[in-house]
């Protein structure tokens, strides 16, 4: 990458969702953040945006106890439901960032990493590097 500085901006789940109400994004906050990022973004650095899940995947993760791994048949279905819930929030952020004029692209963590017992054991970062080299902001979550 020819730009020397890389910044990672993490948007916490409790900032972008109402954690007291299930599956409730704070659209006004997300839009404001998108505009602030757009206004503050300059071409001499690279940016990665990450976000938490807030009131989206944490609900289903608790219900299916996915942090414990595959403990029963419901765990397998639960993994997919947690992923779906995280995607729902990510799509909201992606739309708002695109509407604000940011060139962003979602990288799904489950597509580039493997974990074991809650720890990442392998990660493939080339897709992130490729986006950065093409002046596209990777949008990651998890």
Tokens 């791994």, located at residue = 69
Handedness of CA 64, 70, 71, 74 (dihedral sign): positive
Give the separation between CA 106 and CA 90, rounded to whole angstroms: 8
pLDDT of residue 3: 56
Q: Tell me if 33 sits within 8 A of 41, measured CB to CB.
A: no
pTM: 0.90
Q: Which domains does the chain have, with CATH numbers?
A: 5-141 (3.40.1160.10)
pLDDT tens column, 73-104: 898 899 999 999 999 999 999 999 999 999 99
75's enclosing H/E stretch is helix 73-99
Give the separation between CA 139 and CA 107, rounded to whole angstroms: 6
Tokens 């503050």, located at residue = 40
pLDDT of residue 1: 46
123's enclosing H/E stretch is strand 119-123
pLDDT of residue 2: 52
The proportion of the chain whose per-residue pLDDT surpasses 70, expressed as a percent, equals: 98
Tokens 């392998």, located at residue = 122
Beta-carbon neighbour count of residue 101 at 10 Å? 12
């Amino acid at each position: 990458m020819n730009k020397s500085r890389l910044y990672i901006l993490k948007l916490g789940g409790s900032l972008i969702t109402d954690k007291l109400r299930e599956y409730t994004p704070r659209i006004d906050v997300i839009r404001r953040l998108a505009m602030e990022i757009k206004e503050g973004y300059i071409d001499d650095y690279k940016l990665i945006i990450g976000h938490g899940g807030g009131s989206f995947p944490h609900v289903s993760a608790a219900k299916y106890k996915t942090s414990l791994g595959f403990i029963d048949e419901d765990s397998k279905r639960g993994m997919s439901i947690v992923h779906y819930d995280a995607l729902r929030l990510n799509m909201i952020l992606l739309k708002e960032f695109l509407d604000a004029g940011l060139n962003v692209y979602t990288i799904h963590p489950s597509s580039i990493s493997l974990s074991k017992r809650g720890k990442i054991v392998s990660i493939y970062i080339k897709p992130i590097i490729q986006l950065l080299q093409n002046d596209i902001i990777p949008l990651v979550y998890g």
